[in-house]
Amino acid sequence: MMVLAGRYDRALHPALQRDFERFAPQARFHMLERSGSFSHVEETETVHSLLRDFWQQA
C-alpha cells in the first residue's frame, strides 16, 4: 500500500492521511510538497516516478 498526500490538500488533509502510518505501518507514505488534491495533475512526473518504483518493488 502506498499513500500519496498533497501538502496543500484541503479535502483530504495531510494530517489525516498520516494516520495511515499508524493504522497500516507497512504502508509507504509520501508527502507531495507542491500539490493539493490533484497531485496526479500538479506533480505528474513525481507521482509517476513514485508509482513506477512502488510497482517494481511489488
Round to the nearest angstrom and report the end-to-end CA distance of the chain: 10
Q: How far apart are CA 45 and CA 52, in angstroms?
A: 10
Q: What is the pTM of this model?
A: 0.82
CA 53 vs. chain centroid, Å, equals 13
Confidence at residue 7, expressed as pLDDT on a 0 to 100 scale = 94
| pLDDT tens sequence across 2-12 | 999 999 999 98
| pLDDT tens sequence across 16-56 | 888 888 888 888 999 999 999 999 999 999 999 999 999 99
Domain range list for the chain: 2-57
